[in-house]
Amino acid sequence: MPTLSDPPGPAGDAQPSAPRPGGGAARTMLWSAICAFLVAGALYGPLKMATRDSGGGTARGERVSMAGVRFSPGTLLVERGTEVVFVNDDNLPHTVSAENGSVESGTLKPGDTFRLLVDGRLDYFCAIHPSMTASVDILA
């Protein structure tokens, strides 16, 4: 019967050493995790906000969103001949109206889209909110 004497030894040893210190370590780890999460949030939050504030920025793509009474991105870069979709994600009506009069979407209600084949640089604005200006530029 040598096997009977083997198992109980370690089990009995583990009990005194495990309970309180183990709990403390788990607690510390939880706190580090929470702190890491908070720090990450503090760092990432402002970055994200900065990106959104420059919502008038430059981007490549085929989609322009109207939201918060502005076009986003403010400058869209596309290949010549790209079909660009303007989407009214706002809760106000807007238009896509070219500065030179070559394009006029008419009133786009919230949720409406306007598709346009872009063959050259387009500077446009919203006829309802003239402070909304943006452009589509052609990639060289």
Binding site for Cu ion (CB under 5 A): 94, 126, 128-129, 132
Q: Which is nearer to Cu ion, 132 or 134 (CB)?
A: 132
Smallest distance from the beta carbon of 85 to Cu ion, in angstroms?
17
Q: Which is nearer to Cu ion, 56 or 138 (CB)?
A: 56
Smallest distance from the beta carbon of 128 to Cu ion, in angstroms?
4
Q: Which is nearer to Cu ion, 123 or 138 (CB)?
A: 123
Smallest distance from the beta carbon of 131 to Cu ion, in angstroms?
9
- Tell me the residue length of the chain: 140
Smallest distance from the beta carbon of 72 to Cu ion, in angstroms?
13
Exposed/middle/buried for 128, CB within 10 Å: 0-12, 13-18, 19+?
middle
Q: Which is nearer to Cu ion, 68 or 138 (CB)?
A: 68
Reduce the DSSP state of residue 119 to 3 states and report it: coil
Smallest distance from the beta carbon of 94 to Cu ion, in angstroms?
3
**Cross-strand pairs, 75:** 58, 135
Residues whose CB is less than 8 angstroms from the CB of residue 120 and which lie 6 or more positions away in sequence, other chains included: 80, 138
Rounded CA gap, 90 and 70, in Å? 9
Question: What's the half-sphere exposure (Cβ side, CA atoms, 13 Å) at 75?
Answer: 8
